[in-house]
A and B are shown apart, each in its own frame.
Chain A
Amino acid sequence: MNRLGERLQPLIDAEQRCPGPTPEAVADCWERIAADVQRGSFPALDVPPPLPPRSPLLWLALVVLGAGLVGAVAYGSRTAEPAPVATVAVPTPAPVAPMLPPPPPPAPVLVDTPAPLPPAELSEPSRPAEPVKPVAPKTRPPRPTPAVEQDTFAAELRLLAQGQAALNRHDHAGALKIADQYQKTYPKGHFMEDRDALRVVALCGAASPRAATAARRFLRAYPSSIHAARVRDACAVPSDNP
């Protein structure tokens, strides 16, 4: 390898010293490029720009956080702790209060506290707790509950996944409803870009009259979004017209 490098080096050095294109050729080439760009005549070849290094790390972080949160929820339900995430549906009757804020039995004692309560408030069951004998085999010391921010993180992800599933089913109205729900529940959520993409694609899928404007606004707001290509495809926006 080194020998090869040594033998190649003089050739490489010579190439570097070699004059490149003449200034006339450079200027002429630029004029042709500028004219074609203005005319919008592009070659068939398309090579998308490389993804910045952030992207894989972000997804890795999402996966790790999601897995950690699911583990925490499962662990919480086994150790009779109040579940950290309010929206996970647990089919078996939990020994403590249900995960979701139960709509049917509103606590008659409290004045008018609305349904969504912080997890700590749910720890007191509205009915007497049953004995905890079924969960005996694996009892671990209770772990600290995950931060509230992480809870909404996973719940946001789940909601968006439901929206995506609705899109996959071509249920555009359902996807729009989920995008609205996301906006209402998490007005400053972690995935506003993804929410907007969901909404735009759903609008375009439903052939809404607002679709074109929404698509243009999305592409202007997030020109380098990972969803840009999808939005363009769904809304038939030409790639040179953000």
Chain B
Amino acid sequence: MPSAAALAQLEALYREHHGYVWRSLQRLGVPEPHVADAMHDVFLVVARRLHEFEHRAAMRTWLFAIAFRVAQGFHRDRQRQSQREQPLDDPDAGPAPGTSVDNSIALHQLLQRLDDDKRAVFILAHLEGMTAAEIATVLGLKVPTVYSRLRLAREAIERALTDAPSHSPRRAQR
């Protein structure tokens, strides 16, 4: 049974970071209807270990690492369950152009073209602006592995941007 102070600390953390966790889970390919459940899991992992967290380390780094694992678990479960089901989000389906929401969806669909490992590296490098060394720490990888995954991820995203004109910013900005 946690103390009231521990729960209050967790709540403050939740208030501050739920937006970041929500967005990270979306970027990591968790579909909209499941993001709340995934976020619930992320903060339960935090709750269990919060007393060990030393505030000199970056909280967001830890949150992303947890979100990554939760998303991985989600994808594994989903793969097992839905052999016959139609995927909720088809990565090849282009977004309807025109609004910022469409552009946001386009970003998530682009990211879904990558597997879990490359996607996480790409997000941390291009969307979170982390260095290779920081990414290696977050994901528990060696720095050369980070570089190699990042190169492959960039190639795949470049290809996707070129192949699918609906994903291009010009079309989306119209």
Whether a CB of chain B sits under 8 angstroms from the CB of A14 is: yes
Chain A contacts for B154, CB-based, 8 A: 1, 4
Nearest chain-B residue to A44 (Cβ)?
Answer: B73
Chain A contacts for B50, CB-based, 8 A: 49
Chain B contacts for A15, CB-based, 8 A: 23, 103-104, 107-108
Other-chain residue from A14, A42, A54, A228 in contact with B52 (beta carbon distance below 8 A):
A228
Bound: A54/B56 CA distance, A: 9
Nearest chain-A residue to B157 (Cβ)?
Answer: A4
Whether a CB of chain A sits under 8 angstroms from the CB of B169 is: yes
Whether a CB of chain B sits under 8 angstroms from the CB of A29 is: yes
Chain B contacts for A38, CB-based, 8 A: 1-2, 7
Please give the residue numbers on chain A whose beta carbons come within 8 Å of chain B beta carbons, in ascending order: 1, 4-5, 7-15, 17-18, 20-21, 25-26, 28-30, 32-34, 36-38, 40, 42-43, 45-54, 223-224, 228, 239-240, 242
Contact check, A52 vs B57: say whether CB atoms are below 8 A apart: yes
For chain B, what secondary structure do more than half of its interface residues adopt (helix, strand, loop), or is it mixed?
helix
Bound: A127/B100 CA distance, A: 91
Contact check, A21 vs B35: say whether CB atoms are below 8 A apart: yes
Chain B contacts for A42, CB-based, 8 A: 44-45, 47-48
Size bin of chain B's contact surface:
35 or more
Chain B contacts for A47, CB-based, 8 A: 45, 49, 62, 65-66, 69
- The stretch that binds A, out of B11-19, B83-91, B112-120, is B11-19
Chain B contacts for A239, CB-based, 8 A: 48-49
Contact check, A36 vs B126: say whether CB atoms are below 8 A apart: no
A29, A30, A32, A223 interface centre (most CB from chain B within 10 Å) = A29
Other-chain residue from A8, A28, A37 in contact with B2 (beta carbon distance below 8 A):
A37
Query: Could you show 7 A-B contacts with beta carbons less than 8 Å apart?
Result: A4-B161, A11-B110, A26-B18, A29-B18, A42-B45, A45-B70, A46-B48
Other-chain residue from B2, B11, B23, B172 in contact with A240 (beta carbon distance below 8 A):
B2
Other-chain residue from A17, A20, A36 in contact with B44 (beta carbon distance below 8 A):
A36
Contact check, A9 vs B2: say whether CB atoms are below 8 A apart: no
Please give the residue numbers on chain B whose beta carbons come within 8 Å of chain A beta carbons, in ascending order: 1-2, 7, 10-11, 14, 18-19, 22-23, 35-36, 39-41, 43-45, 47-54, 56-58, 61-62, 65-66, 69-70, 73, 100-104, 106-108, 110, 126-127, 137-138, 154, 157-158, 161, 167-169, 172-173
Contact check, B126 vs A8: say whether CB atoms are below 8 A apart: yes
Contact check, B161 vs A7: say whether CB atoms are below 8 A apart: yes
Chain A contacts for B48, CB-based, 8 A: 42, 46, 239-240
Contact check, B7 vs A17: say whether CB atoms are below 8 A apart: no
Chain A contacts for B102, CB-based, 8 A: 14
Bound: A20/B18 CA distance, A: 9
Contact check, B22 vs A5: say whether CB atoms are below 8 A apart: no
Contact check, A48 vs B69: say whether CB atoms are below 8 A apart: no
Chain B contacts for A18, CB-based, 8 A: 100-101, 104
Other-chain residue from B11, B36, B69, B168 in contact with A21 (beta carbon distance below 8 A):
B36
| Contact A46:B49 (CB < 8 A) given known A7-B168, A11-B172 | yes
Bound: A4/B167 CA distance, A: 13
Nearest chain-A residue to B101 (Cβ)?
Answer: A18
Chain B contacts for A34, CB-based, 8 A: 7, 10-11
Bound: A198/B165 CA distance, A: 63
Bound: A117/B61 CA distance, A: 51
Contact check, B36 vs A25: say whether CB atoms are below 8 A apart: yes
Contact check, B40 vs A53: say whether CB atoms are below 8 A apart: no
Bound: A25/B26 CA distance, A: 15
Contact check, B58 vs A50: say whether CB atoms are below 8 A apart: yes
Chain B contacts for A29, CB-based, 8 A: 18, 36, 39-40, 43
Other-chain residue from B1, B14, B138, B172 in contact with A14 (beta carbon distance below 8 A):
B172
